[in-house]
Amino acid sequence: MSTVVNIRSSKKRKLCTPHVLPCKIIHDGPANVARFFKPTTRVKSNHAQVFFRGRQFIGQSVHVPDGFTGIVVPSKPIAVTDPDDSHNSQPGDEYDEQLHEWSDQARFDCFVVWDHDHLPDDADPHLESVREWISFATTLHS
């Protein structure tokens, strides 16, 4: 099975601030985040704090490095039928190739990484994956 990816770029990308939470939310769709997730910034310690469903999260803002642009790119699977297999396929059969349409919906200059009860440190897996991705992209485009 292979995957074909079609990335469509939107001309009007709104600016957003993504939040990386230390929990799994089992929901795939729109959410009224602004109503339920209202972080406050502590001026003395330069970090954000929020209580989400009774749990304290402390967040660290991470800026996207110069020369990079953060984009939000959700994937939408599209069913494809095999045009070369008309004699063996039934109406509605799906081809074993998957097409995913990716369309950039927003851009960001920084994002917030959250952890339970303390600031995320350098060993945080989300921060580590961002560093790896930036290193990979730098190598790829050099």
Give the least confident one: 39-43, 60-64, 106-110, 111-115: 39-43
pLDDT in tens, 28-45: 778 887 787 778 776 557
Domain ranges of the chain: 3-140
Question: 3-class DSSP state for residue 60?
Answer: strand
Q: Is residue 109 very low, low, confident or very high in pLDDT (cuts 50, 70, 90)?
A: very high
Which tokens in the block code for residue 76?
Answer: 């939408």
At 106, give phi and psi (nearest 5°): -155, 165
CATH topology of domain 3-140: Lipocalin (2.40.128)
**Does this model's pTM top 0.75?**
no
Contact call for residues 97 and 2 (beta carbons, < 8 A):
yes
pLDDT of residue 117: 82
pLDDT in tens, 69-94: 888 888 777 776 655 555 555 555 55
- List C-alpha distances in Å: 98 to 46, 80, 91, 101, 124: 45, 7, 17, 10, 33
Q: Max Cα separation, the chain?
A: 71
